């Protein structure tokens, strides 16, 4: 399975995965609006054995097949800024 990865200017730490390059037809307009202008980052070949840094490969592949896209959110920042001083 192939996919294309994009990032948006409004959400630079979020990534949008699509099953086909530049095919945004299956992506809800509200989601596209949250990303802003999209920039193509890379293309990937996905296999069940492939390991990704922040994403479960099985969830990604399933979402691409069922929903037509997948959004990778940034890791949660667990720093408690109230205790820094």
Beta strands in 14-54, from DSSP E residues, in sequence order: 15-18, 38-45
What is the rounded distance in angstroms from the CA atom of residue 14 to the CA atom of residue 29? 16
Instruction: Give the pLDDT confidence score for residue 80 in this predicted structure.
Output: 44
**CB–CB of 8/38 below 8 Å?**
yes
Domain boundaries defined on the chain: 2-74
CATH of domain 2-74: 3.10.510.20
Q: Which of 81, 1, 7 is nearest to 41 (CA)?
A: 7
pTM of the model: 0.84
pLDDT digit string, tens, across residues 8-48:
999 888 999 999 999 999 899 999 999 999 999 999 999 99
pLDDT digit string, tens, across residues 55-79:
899 999 999 999 999 999 887 754 4
């Amino acid at each position: 399975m192939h996919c294309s990865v994009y990032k948006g200017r409004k959400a630079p730490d979020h990534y949008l995965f699509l099953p086909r390059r530049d095919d945004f037809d299956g992506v809800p307009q509200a989601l596209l609006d949250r990303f802003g202008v999209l920039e193509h980052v890379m293309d990937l070949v996905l296999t069940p054995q492939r390991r990704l840094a922040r994403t479960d490969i099985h969830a990604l592949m399933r979402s691409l097949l069922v929903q037509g896209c997948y959004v990778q959110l940034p890791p949660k920042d667990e720093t408690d800024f109230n205790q820094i001083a």
